């Protein structure tokens, strides 16, 4: 089976432009480094699943858009539709509200207010 090359940068750059964020601003939001974002944008590195989730939340688009570039306008507001979104109270890792404890650090979860 042949692996398909994913070009995240092709879709990450336009999402950043629409959100009005620079590489360093996006890096600050997802608690990463500008050089990492630069590697994503230039297609040198593919983000981990966790990084994709954080990027999609920061840019208010779906992971599908970041991977395929499809339906950007339909994907905007993806997270705003989920009123019961939760985030770890310690590490701020996004997690489904069904979990009582963060799979990232083990801390308890808190509910996040969203505009729905």
pLDDT, one tens digit per residue, over 35-72 is: 999 999 999 999 999 999 999 989 988 888 898 887 64
At residue 88, the pLDDT reads: 73
pLDDT, one tens digit per residue, over 64-100 is: 889 888 764 554 455 445 445 667 777 766 666 666 7
CATH class of 9-75: mainly alpha
Contact 65, 11 (CB under 8 A): yes
Task: State yes or no: pLDDT of 22 exceeds 50.
Answer: yes
Domain-wise residue ranges, the chain? 9-75, 82-116
At residue 83, the pLDDT reads: 42
Question: 62, 68, 73: which is closest to 18 by C-alpha?
Answer: 73
């Amino acid at each position: 089976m042949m692996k398909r090359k994913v070009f995240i940068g092709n879709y990450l750059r336009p999402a950043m432009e629409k959100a009005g964020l620079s590489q360093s601003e996006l890096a600050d939001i997802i608690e990463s480094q500008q050089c990492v974002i630069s590697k994503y944008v230039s297609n040198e590195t593919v983000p981990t699943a966790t990084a994709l989730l954080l990027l999609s939340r920061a840019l208010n688009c779906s992971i599908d858009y970041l991977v395929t570039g499809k339906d950007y306008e339909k994907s905007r507001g993806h997270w705003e539709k989920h009123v019961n979104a939760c985030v770890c109270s310690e590490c701020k890792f996004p997690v489904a509200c069904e979990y009582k404890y963060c799979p990232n650090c083990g801390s308890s979860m808190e509910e996040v207010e969203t505009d729905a």
